[in-house]
């Protein structure tokens, strides 16, 4: 039987009764096969698997994006059951933010680049909620997608900086057969936009330089936030109609 726990205190009571190693997959719901890959990985490496579903308002810099964020609770629950998840932490805002976000976790350098440069406060919201979730769930391992590579890197850094006894496990990006990175936001694309969207991955994998990639995406009708090479990785964020998509590849 899967447990659905709607408050940190209920979750902690359940957590105290668990034995063995706990693997944790934090999400914002609207689950797809990318999330499922994280869950499967967690299931194969741990005694207990915890999934969280929380659309975290503090990480949204755009109110409309938050309002329109898809919610598919019934399907999410079915996917969790099908993958033998032990518990879902599915909390509400007031119980996650008893301080109403007076306290936050901030990283001051890397979080100002890439997505951080275009989404003010985004990574403060992400790091703060993940810190909360880690303290509630107390996992030994936590699974994050390389789809959000900057996020995964910042969370790894937070765990090291605060000596949190948690191993952050990166999981490779799961893609559609046409290359488009799976994302909960893809369901908000119109059919025409959905046909255009794979161009993001195609372009960043084939263009010689980041500038070339940005130019050809703009020419194809995308509103490009950035294409940037850092180290051996190329990062992109671009708007297609009302939807903002991100991706990254090793170069």
Which residues are part of the catalytic machinery? Answer: 35
Instruction: Name the minimum Å distance from CB 172 to ligand AMP.
Output: 7
Q: How big is the CA angle at 151 (ends 89 and 242), to the nearest 5 degrees?
A: 90
With CA atoms as reference, report the closest residue to 146 among 54, 247, 29. Answer: 247
d(Cα 208, Cα 98) in Å, to the nearest integer? 49
- The tokens 């109609």 sit on which residue? 241
45 or 215: CB nearest ligand AMP: 45
Phi (first) and psi of residue 222, to 5 degrees? -80, 145
What Å distances lie between residue 160 and 8, 168, 169, 227, CA to CA? 24, 10, 13, 28
d(Cα 65, Cα 45) in Å, to the nearest integer? 34
Count of residues near ligand AMP by CB under 6 A: 17
Three-class SS of residue 178? coil
Q: Does 150 bind ligand AMP (CB under 6 A)?
A: no
Residue 3 makes CB contacts below 8 A (sequence gap 6+) with 14, 86, 87, 88
Q: Does 97 bind ligand AMP (CB under 6 A)?
A: no
Q: Does 51 bind ligand AMP (CB under 6 A)?
A: no
Q: Which range binds ligand AMP by CB under 6 A, 11-19, 89-97, 182-190, 216-224?
A: 182-190
Instruction: Name the minimum Å distance from CB 219 to ligand AMP.
Output: 26
Q: Work out which of 48, 77, 171, 224 binds ligand AMP, going by CB under 6 A.
A: 171
Q: Which range binds ligand AMP by CB under 6 A, 70-78, 175-183, 201-209, 225-233?
A: 175-183
Q: Which range binds ligand AMP by CB under 6 A, 41-49, 76-84, 105-113, 139-147?
A: 139-147
Q: Does 28 bind ligand AMP (CB under 6 A)?
A: yes
Q: Does 183 bind ligand AMP (CB under 6 A)?
A: yes
Residue numbers at the binding site for ligand AMP (CB under 6 A): 27-28, 34-35, 37-38, 144-145, 147-148, 171, 173-174, 181-184
């Amino acid at each position: 039987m899967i447990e659905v726990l709607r408050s940190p205190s209920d979750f902690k009571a359940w957590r105290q009764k668990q034995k063995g190693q706990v693997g944790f997959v934090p999400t914002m719901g609207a689950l797809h096969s990318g999330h499922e890959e994280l869950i499967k990985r967690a299931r194969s490496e741990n005694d207990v698997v915890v999934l969280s579903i929380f659309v975290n308002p503090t990480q949204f810099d755009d109110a409309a994006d938050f309002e329109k964020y898809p919610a598919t609770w019934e399907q999410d629950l079915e996917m969790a059951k099908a993958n033998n998840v032990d518990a879902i932490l599915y909390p509400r805002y007031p119980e996650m933010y008893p301080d109403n976000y007076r306290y936050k976790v901030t990283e001051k350098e890397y979080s100002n680049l890439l997505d951080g440069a275009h989404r003010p406060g985004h990574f403060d919201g992400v790091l703060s909620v993940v810190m909360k979730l880690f303290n509630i769930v107390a996992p030994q391992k936590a699974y994050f997608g390389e789809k959000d590579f900057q996020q995964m890197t910042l969370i790894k850094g937070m765990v090291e900086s605060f000596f949190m006894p948690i191993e952050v496990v990166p999981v490779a990006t799961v893609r559609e057969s046409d290359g488009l990175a799976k994302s909960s936001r893809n369901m908000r694309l119109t059919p025409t936009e959905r046909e255009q969207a794979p161009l993001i991955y195609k372009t960043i994998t084939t263009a010689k330089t980041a500038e070339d990639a940005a130019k050809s995406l703009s020419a194809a009708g995308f509103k490009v936030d950035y294409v940037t090479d850092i180290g051996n990785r190329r990062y992109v964020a671009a708007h297609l109609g009302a939807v903002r998509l991100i991706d990254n590849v090793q170069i």
